[in-house]
Amino acid sequence: MKKLIAALGRAAAGAMLLIVVAAASEAQTPAQAQSPKDPQELALKDSGAQQLTNTKPKVHRFWDRENILLFSGVGLARGLDYASTLNIRRRGINEIFLTNGIVDNHPLFASIEAAGTGASIGLSYIFHATGHHTLERWTSIVHIGVGIGGAGRNYLLKTPHAQ
């Protein structure tokens, strides 16, 4: 149980650090350069500035189609991780991130997996609310990748045979 509390504490601290860094960062703005003396450079600069001012930031609703698909993918990846972890426990392999007692308590383990999905959606919402829409999407993409990678690793582990 102490391992779980320590791991949850580290995860919470890491998430808080990520939130603080994301909230403190600002969108990049073009630096003010000295005005060029050549008329061609001035024309190029003016056309580039006009293009920059005509672009609008892409704003979307939080529960748009892409986010719904990404959040569904996170849930599926967590479900696959749940199934693969129970599979390795049935084969006699120890879980490395959680204690075997937690994994063997199926309702507790399922709630931890569901909480992971909820935390991913919550972090995406924080990024959405602060205008970091790229990070909002990448949170789910990375979570899906890590979940599927972990499940694949679990299924590829060799079953120990009695000597």
pLDDT in tens, 95-136: 999 999 999 999 999 999 999 999 999 999 999 999 999 999
pTM exceeds 0.95, yes or no: no
Q: Per the domain annotation, does 36 fall within a domain?
A: no
pLDDT tens for 126-163 read: 999 999 999 999 999 999 999 999 999 999 999 988 76
Q: Which amino acid is at 3?
A: K
H/E run at residue 128: helix 106-129
The number of distinct structural domains making up the chain is: 1
Please give the residue range of the domain that contains residue 105: 66-158
Q: Per the domain annotation, does 15 fall within a domain?
A: no
